Chains A and B, each alone.
Chain A
Amino acid sequence: MRKTAVNIEKLSVYYGETPAITNICMDVEDGEFLGIIGPNGGGKSTLLKSILGLVPITTGSIKIYNEKLGKNKTLFGYVPQFATMDKNFPISCLEVVLTGCIKGGLSPFFRFAKKDRDIAFDQLERVGIKKLANKQIGELSGGEFQKMLIARALAVNPKILFLDEPTASVDASSREQIYDLLEELNKNITIILVTHDLMAISSKVGRLACLNENLVYHGKPELNDNIVNKLYGCPIDLIAHGVPHRVLREHGEEK
């Protein structure tokens, strides 16, 4: 039997008096690729952040590999939302990835060893932007920036990778590359991915959780009208898996 990577019991998170998520019960197995979808403001990011310990839990419990939250921090790789990042911060691409190599606590006079640099370069190569290592982050495109954030998360050598909207503000080809990369990574790493974009949830996701304050659905990545209605409150076009279906015709990049 596979181990349980994340165990969530009756989790509720309130911001002030407003509930962001209520009464969530969910298990994520080791090695799983879980996609969490739902409307904007449905509590997807809040769920992710409460697992990571960034948001205080109001009631309920979260266990990571059967241990209480807060102990197993080095197991986590986190790819935050692109939109929340400061793109003009004076730091180079390599330096960002290197921050993933910093050990916990405070380490006075910590200097990166050659080993750390090797790790950082390996991760940059893995995501395909090794040649951009010495660029300042302000010069990167949306897709490159996102890949750099993934490389940083991987530099931690995590057992669980969390991604918050990894394909928002990313061009079509980068999006494909990122999903291919995630599929490859999923061989060794448990992945939990959050997105509001139904199109982005490709056939690569192993299981799906639909979140709109409550957990509406949790199971195989096959949605029906009933679930989507409950999730978004109104009928919308479904993306059937395996069947090519697009709202808009795909168009290539302008030369």
Chain B
Amino acid sequence: MIHAIFEYKFLQNALAASILASIVCGIIGVIIVEKKLVMMSGGIAHTAYGGVGLGYLMGFEPMIGAFIFSACAAMGIGFIKRKGGAQSDVIIGLFWSLGMALGIVFIAFMPGYPPDLNSYLFGNILSVTKSDIYLMLILTFIVVFVVIALYNNWKAYLFDEEFAFIIGINTAFLEYLLLVLIAMTVVVLIRVAGIIMVIALLTAPAATAGIVSSKLKNRMVYAIIFGIIFCVAGLWISYVLNIASGAIIVILSVIFYFSMYSISYTRIKAKRKGIAIRQELS
């Protein structure tokens, strides 16, 4: 495998894609998990399928279409949620399926033989092209820059939105900005995990990091590290076995999360028991 990385361009691209994906996943994933926006991210991701379809139909880069659709979905969900009057999970559900439906319709309208959309749905890290890498690089840079630049504002906003609003932080702007960042993250992840499995990659490393650390900054760092481990290991397995990379990466990260969860659970239980016994003795 290591020898092959130096030899094959597509493997180098795949490796670069996994690292970029892990960085955005780590940072945005921790925010999503803390802010309980997992399902909303799922909705934004699935809406992207409509953009992929439109890209194929109109003859432009499907990833650009995916980004436009995700960003519009993010803004739309955010706007309706803010205005009130409708349950946000209903809106998310509608956007979710509308995006998929539009994708199917656009593809159906395409003249000639329909393209293979599996790599968008399930991810295929081994088919990442140079131009994908450039797009991912730009989006990753924007996400990292925005989060670091406004770090203290984010922290105040995430912990207590109302208080942040009262001290004069523009929380409406931050909310929309966060949704757009999620849309960007989703686009970065589509190539690696696919539209359907984006949620796992967004949540598993962040949730695992949540078990390991109780500091926001450290959680992001750990989530990035876990992400890189899952992605590179998944990449290697999918290269060897020739299976869609997204599936392997998701299976690895979910298994890892559940094993970490059970380890920490048994440890807390043992600790609690220990304290109780000690107190009984004294």
Given known A90-B210, A91-B216, A138-B214, contact A80–B168 (CB-CB < 8 A): no
| Residues of chain A lying within 8 A (CB to CB) of residue B155 | 91, 95, 99
Assess whether A76 is in contact with B166, with CB atoms less than 8 Å apart: yes
Given known A78-B163, A80-B160, contact A108–B215 (CB-CB < 8 A): no
| Residues of chain B lying within 8 A (CB to CB) of residue A152 | 163
Assess whether B169 is in contact with A108, with CB atoms less than 8 Å apart: no
A35 to chain B, nearest CB (A): 21
| Residues of chain B lying within 8 A (CB to CB) of residue A102 | 152-153, 156, 164, 167, 169
| Residues of chain B lying within 8 A (CB to CB) of residue A107 | 150, 152-153
Please, how many angstroms separate the alpha-carbon atoms of A90 and B169 in the complex?
20
Assess whether A90 is in contact with B156, with CB atoms less than 8 Å apart: no
Assess whether B159 is in contact with A74, with CB atoms less than 8 Å apart: no
Assess whether A53 is in contact with B156, with CB atoms less than 8 Å apart: no
Number of interface residues of B (CB under 8 A): 29
Chain A's closest residue to B158 (CB) is: A89
Most buried by A among B162, B174, B218: B162
Q: Does chain B have a CB within 8 A of A54?
A: yes
B227 to chain A, nearest CB (A): 18
Please, how many angstroms separate the alpha-carbon atoms of A102 and B158 in the complex?
14
Chain B's closest residue to A100 (CB) is: B167
Contact of A105 among B156, B160, B168 (CB under 8 A): B168
Most buried by A among B160, B164, B166: B166
Chain A's closest residue to B218 (CB) is: A90
Please, how many angstroms separate the alpha-carbon atoms of A78 and B218 in the complex?
29
Assess whether B162 is in contact with A54, with CB atoms less than 8 Å apart: yes
| Residues of chain B lying within 8 A (CB to CB) of residue A103 | 167-168
Assess whether B150 is in contact with A78, with CB atoms less than 8 Å apart: no
In the complex, the number of residue pairs spanning A and B with C-beta atoms less than 8 Å apart equals 87
| Residues of chain B lying within 8 A (CB to CB) of residue A108 | 149-150
Chain B's closest residue to A15 (CB) is: B84
| Residues of chain B lying within 8 A (CB to CB) of residue A230 | none
Chain A's closest residue to B162 (CB) is: A54
Q: Does chain A have a CB within 8 A of B165?
A: yes
A71 to chain B, nearest CB (A): 10
Assess whether B214 is in contact with A136, with CB atoms less than 8 Å apart: yes
Please, how many angstroms separate the alpha-carbon atoms of A95 and B149 in the complex?
17
Q: Does chain B have a CB within 8 A of A73?
A: yes
B161 to chain A, nearest CB (A): 9
Question: Which A91-134 residues have C-beta < 8 A from chain B?
Answer: 91-92, 95-96, 99-100, 102-112
| Residues of chain A lying within 8 A (CB to CB) of residue B219 | 90
A 1-33 binary contact with B (CB < 8 Å = 1; else 0): 000000000000000100000000000000000
Q: Does chain A have a CB within 8 A of B259?
A: no
Contact of B152 among A16, A110, A138 (CB under 8 A): A110
Q: Does chain A have a CB within 8 A of B170?
A: yes
6 nearest CB pairs, A to B? A104-B168, A99-B156, A108-B149, A90-B216, A73-B168, A136-B214
A-B contact list, 11 entries, CB within 8 Å: A53-B166, A54-B165, A73-B166, A76-B166, A89-B34, A99-B155, A102-B153, A102-B164, A103-B168, A106-B174, A112-B152
Q: Give 12 new A-B contacts, CB below 8 A, not counting A90-B216, A103-B167.
A: A73-B167, A85-B160, A89-B158, A90-B213, A99-B155, A99-B156, A99-B159, A99-B163, A102-B152, A102-B153, A105-B170, A106-B153
